[in-house]
Structure 1
Amino acid sequence: MFITIEVFKTNVSSQAQAALIKTSILHHFPHLDVNFDLEDRDNILRVEGEVDPGDIMLLVRQSGVEINLLLD
């Protein structure tokens, strides 16, 4: 099995908002490992597992959050 780690830049600014987004992602994709790094200037969302980054971005944007995939 091939596991990927996708890293996204967001405009999430609080732990409460991050928790809601994480809960939403895990509701739709329970097999993923999801975490936020709000100490980073880009308010990083990391997602580990098998998933299309576009699916994550669509889901998060439905919550009114700006999100963009960070490329290497």
Structure 2
Amino acid sequence: LFSDTVAGAKASAVIYSLVLTCRAGGVDPYAWLRHALTELPQRAPDADIEDLLPFNCTAQKNLPADNDSG
């Protein structure tokens, strides 16, 4: 409905699914996304990234959304 292309709709569905997986697992979606997007560029293209999935990212559970405030 809000995507201009099929590829855009698929990309949106992936993001929505990851955010809802975070919420279901008690992981702050914003903190998880910041963590994942910080870690991904540091890894080799063929590296295993399963530890970055929301349900495996226990270090990000219940963290405040922004650790820079204070």
TM over 0.5: no
Structure number with the bigger relative contact order (C-alpha 8 A, sep ≥ 6) is 1
More helix per residue: 1 or 2? 2
Q: TM-score band, normalised by the shorter chain?
A: under 0.3
TM-score after normalising by structure 1: 0.26
TM-score for the superposition, normalised by structure 2: 0.27
Whose strand proportion is higher, 1 or 2? 1
| Greater Cα radius of gyration, structure 1 or 2 | 2
